[in-house]
Amino acid sequence: MDWVSLKIPSRRPNPARRAPVRGVDDEFSVLVRKAFLLCSRGKYAEADTLLEGILLRSPGHPEAMRLRSRIADTDHEDKRARKEFRETRRSLALDTSWRRGWAYVVLVLGALWATVDLVDSAIYAVQSGIVASKTTIITSYSRYSSYSYPWTRPAYLDLLFGAACIAICAGGILFIRRISRGVEEWEELDAPDYSSEDYSRHWW
């Protein structure tokens, strides 16, 4: 049997990595190709139903059995990934849409602030030099008084700080997007009431 490679536009492990090609196309080969295309579009349930129909009419069809086995493996991996993402959302108290939304807002605002600070630091570094000293007055408050002192550091330190903040915020946004894959509606109803628990275990 000849196989030709096809690229599957999916992030999940795809059971249909190679498309079956025969010299003479019979009805079942055409249906297997259709199932393969469904897999390439991420419609695994429809492909499995189609392959099940093929095997009912032609038990032991090798191409249908092979592709269906790959679909089963993919479904197992997908369920395992969904479970891991669900446990991660629960452990970080991000198991509701509004909590994830607030996390997005905080990270986006942090990235915007870091971008403004990075631009300001870059302008200062261009005008004064990257190793030039930069002084900021820091005010510290105690219960009954406050005092100020100068903080002097090289300009490149602010550049590194701004770049690091942007990278951390961008990484956080990508992380939340990743663990948000496969969210089920029942998770919103099953989320615990964190207001009655120890706040030290959660973000809020």
* For the chain, domain boundaries: 2-87, 93-190
Confidence of residue 192 (pLDDT cuts 50, 70, 90): low
Beta-bridge partners for 150: 137
pLDDT, one tens digit per residue, over 81-107 is: 778 888 888 888 888 888 888 999 999
Residue 1, C-beta contacts closer than 8 angstroms, at least 6 positions apart: 20, 22, 63
Mean pLDDT of the chain: 77
Q: Does residue 175 register a pLDDT over 50?
A: yes
Residue 20, C-beta contacts closer than 8 angstroms, at least 6 positions apart: 1, 3, 29, 32, 33, 36, 63, 67
pLDDT, one tens digit per residue, over 31-88 is: 888 888 888 777 778 888 888 888 888 787 788 888 888 888 777 777 777 788 888 8
User: 3-state secondary structure string, 124-143?
Assistant: HHHHHCCCCEEEEEEEEECC
d(CA 50, CA 67): 11
68 versus 175: which is more confidently predicted?
175
